[in-house]
Amino acid sequence: MAQTHYWYLPARWLVLDKYNNIENLQGFEGNIAVILAEDDEVVPVQHGKKLYDSITAKKKLWLFEGVRHNEVLVEADLHWWKEVIAFISQ
């Protein structure tokens, strides 16, 4: 992720904390919900799609079109959020 944002620096060698979610989710047997904002400036949507495509467990994608990272509404009483909770609770 750092290399995506700082393409002009050797970020992949400078960042000490590594979060390989693709590797970390291998073998996970529960349901996995992936929530993406189409215009996300923090976690570009192509990274989320790559993660989603790599998941072999039961999965579901929620893609919010035309929305940036902090514009996804996450109030607990929203219909889509209730769908997410129901899906991962199965």
Give the C-alpha separation, 58 to 88, whole Å.
9
Identify the domain containing residue 14 by its residue range: 2-89
Give the C-alpha separation, 53 to 58, whole Å.
11
Domain count, the chain: 1
Residue 81: the pLDDT is 93
Mean pLDDT of the chain: 90
Residues 6+ apart with CB under 8 A from 43: 1, 69
pLDDT tens-place string over residues 42-79: 899 999 999 999 999 999 999 999 999 999 988 889 99
pLDDT tens-place string over residues 27-37: 999 999 999 99
Residue 30: the pLDDT is 96
Give the C-alpha separation, 12 to 8, whole Å.
11
